[in-house]
Amino acid sequence: MADIIIKNGYILTMDSYELTQGVVVIENGTITEVAESTEQDADQIIDAKGSVVMPGFVNTHTHTGMTLLRGYADDFPLDEWLKNYIWPVEDRLTDEDAYIGTKLACLEMIKSGTTSFADMFIHIDKVAQAVKDSGMRAALSYRMIEAGNEEKGKSELDTNKRFINNWKGEAEGRIITMYGPHAPYTCSEGFLSKVKKEANHDRVGIHIHVLETESELNQMKQHYGMCSINLLDRLGFLGPDVLAAHCVWLSDDDIEILRGRGVHVSHNPVSNMKLASGVAPVPGMLDRGVNVSLGTDGCASNNNLDMFEEMKTAALLHKVESLDPTVLPARQVLEMATTSGARALGIKSGVLREGYNADVIIVDMNKPHLTPVYDIHSHLVYSASGSDVSTTIVDGRILMQDYEVVCMDEQDVLDRARTAAAGLVERAKF
């Protein structure tokens, strides 16, 4: 007896381009069958008539707790935004803020079809607790800023290591742990080398912001006489264990280094556009074989966690940047949001395939803006939005069914998040 059978839906496995009617069978958190029909029975049958059954999205760069700062400081460039608005408030965040901010982020992601994400944040034990309680899958890193201060660096590294020791593989394996040095302009080269050594020792990955702005590029050239990619490569930092967010100000040589080292890139088009950071050379990276995934970044620079919106923005941005409408076709963007993201996090998700994690979503196509259907990839990227997701399953557990969130008390999360945000802004009046 299986746990769940999803039947009558149109299945988009992401293993092929085809959309075929069939069933998905789930047992013990794993997909055990994807077929036209099945002989099996299950404890729970989900009727997906008129819907598309597909892998959940993988958001490869966010800061979940920043949901509490959604709309708090808009329309500033990155340097000013971080120094004058975001960091002073983040300094006043409490454990409860981080917990409820992350819960709110999980709620938003579950409701819009994201099943796993990579997060970099502070109060990281509370973030992990919220992920565990929500039922989502996540690769979590503690944000370390050392700024050349050896003592601070030691305590930051200790905090991240303790987190890794306490949480690696927790929540039935749904929690993956990583090191999170914030960026090459907030961490010294000595510190970055130490992080790499510890990551190798602990056999975990590293999540870092890289070359997001021209200001970072200039700062690095001034300080080190080379860009962030060259510095990181000189340190032996770059490898398939590294998840590099943004990567906007790359040269052709930098792209070659990323490809050669097997670095995974998280492209964050909405955040890059909102902070006017620039346009990442995504078509160039994809052409050269770099694994480019998609991330929303935090809610203070996006201002939501909707991967549908991220996909559409990525496609449109690179078409207009290159003046070529054939660049980043819908299918390729969909792969970035699913299979490439799963590869970046090293998880067996992102496709509907036997033996893979049962991280599955159902997208309701019975909507005016999704009618008629010629090409499902087109609809998912250009016409659909997060609110079209009716059902979200992570690790074989139903978190939302028929638009009803069953893994947490939605109203309680909204109420607590509003209270926390009010207290946070009050405390931030200094």
Ligand X SMILES: CSC[C@H]1O[C@@H](n2cnc3c(O)ncnc32)[C@H](O)[C@@H]1O
Interface pattern 311-350 for ligand X (x via CB under 6 A): ----------------------------------------
Of 297 and 364, the one with the shorter C-beta distance to Zn ion is 297
Per CB under 6 A, 298 contacts ligand X: yes
Among the candidate windows 33-41, 84-92, 235-243, 375-383, which touches ligand X by CB under 6 A? 84-92
Least separation in angstroms between residue 191's CB and ligand X is: 16
Contacts 24+ apart (CB under 8 A), 251-259: 251/227, 252/284, 254/211, 254/227, 254/229, 254/230, 255/281, 255/284, 255/285, 255/288, 255/290, 256/288, 257/229, 257/230, 257/233, 258/229, 258/285, 258/290, 259/285, 259/288, 259/289, 259/290
DSSP string, 368-379: GGG-S-S-HHHI
Q: Give the span between the Cα atoms of 6 and 16, in whole angstroms.
A: 19
- Positive/negative CA dihedral, 149, 78, 323, 263: positive
Report which of 109, 93, 105, 156 is spatially closest to residue 130, judged by C-alpha positions. 105
Q: What residues form the annotated binding site for Zn(2+)?
A: 61, 63, 209, 297
**Residue in 7, 63, 70, 377 binding ligand X, rule: CB under 6 A:** 63
Of 17 and 87, the one with the shorter C-beta distance to ligand X is 87
Of 146 and 297, the one with the shorter C-beta distance to Zn ion is 297
Binders of ligand X in range 144-183 (CB under 6 A): 182
Per CB under 6 A, 185 contacts ligand X: no
Q: Give the span between the Cα atoms of 69 and 124, in whole angstroms.
A: 17
Q: What residues form the annotated binding site?
A: 61, 63, 90, 182, 209, 212, 297
Give yes or no for a contact between 345 and 60, defined as CB atoms under 8 angstroms apart.
Answer: yes
Q: Give the span between the Cα atoms of 48 and 250, in whole angstroms.
A: 43
Least separation in angstroms between residue 121's CB and ligand X is: 4
DSSP string, 54-113: EEPEEEEEE-GGGGGGTTTS-S--HHHIIIIIIHHHHTT--HHHHHHHHHHHHHHHHHTT
Least separation in angstroms between residue 55's CB and ligand X is: 26
**Residue in 6, 19, 82, 336 binding ligand X, rule: CB under 6 A:** 82
The Cβ of residue 85 has, within 10 Å, a number of other Cβ atoms equal to: 17
Least separation in angstroms between residue 254's CB and ligand X is: 18
Among ligand X, Zn ion, none, what does residue 349 contact (CB within 5–8 Å per kind)?
Answer: none
Residue number of the CB closest to ligand X reads: 143
Least separation in angstroms between residue 373's CB and Zn ion is: 35
Q: Give the span between the Cα atoms of 244 and 358, in whole angstroms.
A: 26
Strands 30-35 and 42-47: unpaired
Q: What residues form the annotated binding site for substrate?
A: 90, 182, 212, 297
Least separation in angstroms between residue 213's CB and Zn ion is: 12
Among the candidate windows 23-31, 49-57, 297-305, 405-413, which touches ligand X by CB under 6 A? 297-305
Per CB under 5 A, 212 contacts Zn ion: no
Strands 242-246 and 205-210: parallel
Report which of 66, 127, 237, 173 is spatially closest to residue 394, judged by C-alpha positions. 173
Per CB under 6 A, 118 contacts ligand X: no
Least separation in angstroms between residue 138's CB and Zn ion is: 15
Least separation in angstroms between residue 215's CB and Zn ion is: 15
Per CB under 6 A, 103 contacts ligand X: no
The helix (run of H) or strand (run of E) holding residue 216 is helix 214-224
Binders of ligand X in range 255-284 (CB under 6 A): 271
Burial of 325 (C-beta count, 10 Å sphere; 0-12/13-18/19+): exposed
Binders of Zn ion in range 275-334 (CB under 5 A): 297
Give yes or no for a contact between 51 and 362, defined as CB atoms under 8 angstroms apart.
Answer: yes
Least separation in angstroms between residue 216's CB and Zn ion is: 13
Binders of ligand X in range 201-220 (CB under 6 A): 209, 212
Q: Give the span between the Cα atoms of 357 and 29, in whole angstroms.
A: 6
Of 297 and 395, the one with the shorter C-beta distance to Zn ion is 297
Among ligand X, Zn ion, none, what does residue 90 contact (CB within 5–8 Å per kind)?
Answer: ligand X
Of 27 and 297, the one with the shorter C-beta distance to Zn ion is 297
**Residue in 26, 105, 120, 421 binding ligand X, rule: CB under 6 A:** 120
Helix, coil or strand: residue 222: helix
Residue type at 323 in one-letter notation = L
Rg of the chain on CA atoms, in Å? 21
Q: Which residues bind Zn ion (CB under 5 A)?
A: 297
Positions that interact with ligand X (CB under 6 A)? 63, 78, 82, 86-87, 90, 120-122, 143, 182, 209, 212, 271, 297-298, 301
